[in-house]
Amino acid sequence: MLSDSERRALDEIELKLASNDPGFAQMLGNPATSRVSRRARLVYDALAVFSVLLGVGCVALGQVGAGLVALVFAAVVVLARRARFPMLTEQPPMPRTGLIS
């Protein structure tokens, strides 16, 4: 069991974390949602990479039309991922704390 002062300290840390980085606090708050979110991001990434490889392969083999369609599809997948997970694709750089040199 934690003492009252330890609980208050943890509550203060939680409030600071939630105000400084709400996306991270939300991810920690619901592990099931974050797991599903990670899987969804992985599916988007895998689909985009596969589409790019397929597009480049088609263009290299002379199937320019099919290659362009695959590359456009990859671009649509990337844009859809950014629309669904805006905070996770455009994170600001982490502040330096001076703990690690």
Q: Is residue 94 scored above 70 in pLDDT? A: no
C-beta atoms surrounding 55 within 10 Å: 22
The two tokens of residue 65 are 């039309």
Does the predicted model carry a pTM greater than 0.85?
no
Check residue 71 and give its pLDDT.
Answer: 96
Measured distance CA(28)–CA(74) in Å, rounded: 30
pLDDT tens-digit readout, 20-49: 877 777 666 665 566 778 888 899 999 999
Is residue 17 very low, low, confident or very high in pLDDT (cuts 50, 70, 90)? confident
Instruction: Report the pLDDT averaged over residues 69-86.
Output: 92
